[in-house]
Every structure is written in structure tokens, then in C-alpha cells.
Amino acid sequence: MTFEFDRDTLLEPRGDGRYDADLAPGWVVGGGVNGGYLLAMIGRAIAAELAAKAPAKAHQDPFSVSAHFTSAAVPGPAYVQTELVRSGGRFSTVQARLVQDVDGVPVPRIAAHGTYGDLDSAHDPASEAAAQALGIRLPAPVLPPPEECFESRDAPPEFKKIAPLLERFGTRFDPAYAMWSVGQPSRSGVIQGWFKLADERPLDPIALLMVLDALPPVTFDLGLPGWAPTLELTAHVRAKPAPGWVVVRHATRTVAGGLFEEDCEVWDSTGRLVAQSRQLALQPRPV
């Protein structure tokens, strides 16, 4: 069987660093295509370009991907134009731009860079022992078990109609920060829960790029349910995830000047921090 995520991020190499894509309608949410899905598409193109241009190095894992969102993508044909910036011993950096043609004019949707390497060989044993002794490790939040959380697929049909994205996920929201769904936001600026893909597709480093922008904006929990367009999002993948549920936490600490930053962390089923991101997004207008 082919999982939805793999089918919908399929790329066709066209030479000269170009990879053709088809943005699937199933990843639409409100006014555009989900940013995490687009980030994973870019992440896959970067891995493909590195496999083509520097195959001996096996730099297939994203360590950092930074993306500037320049216009809203729409479902349909798109392409990722990549260019190898530099391939070093431990890391390689690729520039990647997601583009859609509009009336024959190429319109950039996302301008990105990715620095890739090999997550399995990123550290030496002495450094890892020193790091473990330090004990500087952000712990996962304690959540109620998944069966006591709110399931996103239980959303009302009229909401799912404008957010088909919800059908892709098996998200279970922590009820403590999910009461915005019944008009009672906690006003903490936090959204967290358990996450998996609806069709149980296992998560890997590329899929984590998608997980980092899979939940609704934290402004929902602040009583601002509007569209919160991302200006920029940078993802850091810290380790390969173990099988099973991941825990995802989003929080903002500063809403000011028309903008807010949203930090996201992802822990795997062993409690290890596997990915984190920060995005700068536009504050939704009050309704």
C-alpha cells in the first residue's frame, strides 16, 4: 500500500535541479495549502538533489530547513527548483524554491535553504556522554492518554469541508488547551496533543517537517480564530523518531506589533526531543 503522505509528496526529477510536484487538495486548510506539507515537499526535493549531486555523502536527513513564505500556494502543479550551495564533510546545504506558474508567470511560494547530514553519525560517543552528563534535555509535557483527548476527526462536517487536512491526521488534542473548539479558549497561547498520521504511516525526519506545522495556530487558544499566515518557519530535526505516537506542543510568548512567534517541539514515544521549530506569523485580526 502507498501511504497518503508518500503519494502526495511524490516528485518527478526534471534535471537541472528541478522537481515537479502536484499539490494535493487533501492538504488544504482554510485559505491555502498546509505549510508543513509544503515544507516536507521541499525537504524531499532537497534530499533527492543531494542523492543526485553528492551520493557518496549520504546527507539525507534534514538538520535545519528555513522557509520564507512569499505567497499562498494552491492545489495543483508546482515545482521545486533546487541548487546545491555547498557539500562539506558532515553537512551539505541546498537552496530550494517552491514555485507555481500563474497565467504562465512563475510565482515563488516558498524560498528555503536546507542543511542536511546523517542523523545517525552526527555525534561522537565522548560528546554524547558529556551531553548526557549535563542533563540539558527539554522534557515532554505530561498529557492525558490519547483516549481522553479530543480527536480532530470528530470536528463538525462544515469545518472539515474547509479543512480537508484534518482527515490526514490522527491528532488528539489535550483538552486543557482545546476548549477554543467550543468557544472557550484558555488564553494561554498553547496547543498540544498526541499526533500520528491517520493512515498510520510511520514518521521519519522528512515527515517531522510536516508535523511541525500540522496543528492549528496557537492564536486559536487566544480567542483569535482567524487565518494566521506564516512569514517564516525554521525547522530543526534533532533525532530520528522511534515508532508510535509523538507529542507535539506549540506555544507563543510574544504577540505584538501585528506578529507572533510560535515555537513547536516534537517528542517521540521514548520521550526524546526529535524536532523543534519557530515560526513568525501574522496575528489574526480580532473578529
Residue 105 interacts with its own copies (CB under 8 A): yes or no? no
- Return the residue matching grid coordinates 518557519: 233
Site for its own copies contains 56 (CB under 8 A): no
Nearer to its own copies, 2 or 70 (CB): 70
Least distance in angstroms from the C-beta of 92 to its own copies: 9
56 vs 287, which CB is nearer to its own copies? Answer: 287
| Cβ proximity to its own copies, 166 vs 206, nearer residue | 206
Grid cell, residue 29, equals: 486548510
Query: What is the DSSP-derived secondary structure letter of residue 216?
Result: P
Half-sphere exposure of 100 (CA within 13 A, CB side): 17
Q: Specify the stretch interacting with its own copies by CB under 8 A; choose among 68-76, 145-153, 161-169, 174-182.
A: 68-76
Q: Are the C-beta atoms of 40 and 210 separated by less than 8 Å?
A: yes
Query: Residue with C-alpha cell 530547513?
Result: 65
Per CB under 8 A, 270 contacts its own copies:
no
Give which of 26, 59, 31, 57 is closest to 43, Cα–Cα.
59
Nearer to its own copies, 99 or 197 (CB): 99
Which of 104, 157, 200, 285: binder of its own copies (CB under 8 A)?
285
**For residues 203-262, which are near its own copies according to CB under 8 A?**
222-224, 231-232, 234, 236, 238-239, 252-261
DSSP 237-255: E-SPPPSS-EEEEEE-S-E
Find the shortest distance in angstroms from Cβ 128 to its own copies. Answer: 7
Q: Which residues contact residue 259 at a Cβ distance below 8 angstroms, ignoring those fewer than 6 apart?
A: 231, 280, 281, 282, 283
Q: Which of 12, 76, 137, 154 binds its own copies (CB under 8 A)?
A: 137
> How far is the C-alpha of 229 from the C-alpha of 75, rounded, in Å?
17
Q: Decide if 69 contacts 233 (C-beta within 8 A).
A: yes
Identify the residue among 10, 20, 60, 91 touching its own copies (CB under 8 A). 91
- Kindly state whether residue 278 participates in binding its own copies, applying the rule CB under 8 A: yes
Part in contact with its own copies (CB under 8 A); list of ranges 2-10, 13-21, 66-74, 145-153 = 66-74
Taking the complex as a whole, the smallest distance from the CB of residue 227 to its own copies amounts, in Å, to 13
Distance in Å, CB of 68 to its own copies, minimum: 5
Please tell me the count of residues contacting its own copies according to CB under 8 A.
62
Nearer to its own copies by Cβ, of 171 and 277: the residue is 277
The yes or no reply on residue 118 touching its own copies (CB under 8 A) is no
> Which residues, numbered 11-30, are part of the site for its own copies (CB under 8 A)?
none
C-alpha cell at 191: 496547543
Of the candidates 238, 192, 27, 232, the one whose C-alpha atom is nearest the C-alpha of residue 111 is: 232
Q: Contact 101/33 with Cβ under 8 angstroms?
A: no
Backbone angles phi, psi at 243, to 5 degrees: -60, 155
Q: Which three cell numbers stand for residue 103?
A: 497565467
CA distances from 190 to 62, 220, 241 (A): 26, 9, 23
Q: Which residues pair with 68 in a beta bridge?
A: 111, 232
Q: Can you give the binding site for its own copies, defined by CB under 8 A? A: 63-64, 66, 68, 70-71, 85-86, 88, 91, 93, 95, 97, 107-108, 111-115, 119, 122-124, 126-128, 130-131, 134, 136-138, 187, 189, 222-224, 231-232, 234, 236, 238-239, 252-261, 272-273, 276, 278, 280, 283, 285-286
